[in-house]
Copies of this chain bind each other. A is one copy, B any other.
Amino acid sequence: MDKMKVAVLGATGMIGQRFIQLLEDHPYFEFGGLYASERSEGKRLGEVLKIRDHRFKPETMDMIIEKLDVKSVASSSRVAFSGLPSETAKDTEVELAKEGLGVFSNASSHRMSLDVPLLIPEVNPEHLDAVKDQSTFANGGFIVTNANCSTTGIAPPLKALNEAFGLDIVTVTTYQAISGAGYPGVPSLDILGNIVPYIGGEEEKIEIEIKKMLGTWDGSFKHANFTMLANCARVPVVDGHLEAMILRLKDDPDVETVIRALEDFPALDLPSAPRQPIIVMREKDRPQPALDVFAGEPDRAQGMAVSVGRVRKEEGWFKMFVLSHNTLRGGSGGSVLNAELAKAKGLL
């Protein structure tokens, strides 16, 4: 079977390079082109390398970055994976959908739109149907977004808990990695040996996006109903968002029942899906970004499982830590998985 051609938009950024990593050897997709701003036009990927932990093939390192132009992308590819900044993404993604491309985006621009799915395949696969209401769908074009990276990490455990016991009040406090701010992103003078207790718009995104994803689609989106309160901070970690949750459920299960609900969260049969989407760690001091950010089966796509640790119950509340890879599960990997689901559902 011929592979489908895909374009990577924003190929010099952190998200863009994670896309390249995941698509270098993908069963469904192959590169139609790598695109970025005019400034990087004509450069080899190897010259603008930013990913620390993946060894690209020599031929990938030698791929040439092209200038992003809607017509060029449309003529090279059926699918666009977008790691564009929000301001650029907004119009470009619409234009690409009009050209008939399936656009899988990391940008926040269209996430809350009334006909755009905010999709995590294990969490709300039925939301994908919303693309059929998009005006461009008749030509094969549509936009699917993935959630903000810090929302993505907690979405699978919160989905599992909501299904099993009902969420009442959820507080989340984040320890977010610098790669989440893109490149050049956070100045080193701000973050070396420091914590910055503010990430513009992040708390609002968590609070609204989770409710869209845990809600329903039946021609329109109905949001889930519970109290969600977030505090967000940036920490000097390269990759991996750690999130501390203190939450109250409607039911009153014991700790082991909660753990079982997390571990039994169902997996999907897609190439980039982990066999166990939520891994519960029993060690006393885990998960840790440095050790566990690539959680998941060694033979599967890296960093696509979410780790949960230190699940405790106290005075009727539950406490736990959640770790996810913010540019894989919470970024490019999420988009690739969304595209795999779209292909499985016959939308591509």
A186 to B189, CA, bound (A): 8
Inter-chain contacts of A195 with B (CB < 8 A): 175, 235, 237, 242, 288-289
A294 located at the interface, meaning its Cβ lies under 8 Å from any Cβ of chain B in the complex: yes
When C-beta atoms are compared, the residue in chain B nearest to A321 turns out to be B197
> Interface 1/0s, chain A 167-205, versus B by CB < 8 A?
000010101001100011111111111111110000000
- A287-B189 in contact given A171-B171, A233-B242 (Cβ < 8 Å): no
Inter-chain contacts of A14 with B (CB < 8 A): 189
When C-beta atoms are compared, the residue in chain B nearest to A171 turns out to be B246
* Inter-chain contact B56/A285, CB cutoff 8 Å: no
- A178-B189 in contact given A197-B310, A242-B195, A314-B229 (Cβ < 8 Å): yes
Q: Which of B187, B284, B296 contacts A185 (CB 8 A)?
A: B187
* Inter-chain contact A192/B194, CB cutoff 8 Å: no
A211 located at the interface, meaning its Cβ lies under 8 Å from any Cβ of chain B in the complex: no
* Inter-chain contact B183/A189, CB cutoff 8 Å: yes
Number of A positions contacting B (CB below 8 A): 64
| Contact residues, A318-334 vs B (CB, 8 A) | 319, 321
* Inter-chain contact B56/A53, CB cutoff 8 Å: no
Interface residues of A (CB under 8 A from B): 14, 46-47, 49-50, 52-53, 55-58, 171, 173, 175, 178-179, 183-198, 207, 227, 229, 231, 233, 235-238, 242, 244, 246, 283-291, 294, 296, 298, 302, 309-310, 314-315, 317, 319, 321
12 chain-A/chain-B pairs, Cβ below 8 angstroms: A183-B187, A187-B188, A188-B191, A188-B192, A195-B288, A196-B288, A197-B321, A229-B314, A229-B319, A231-B244, A236-B236, A246-B246
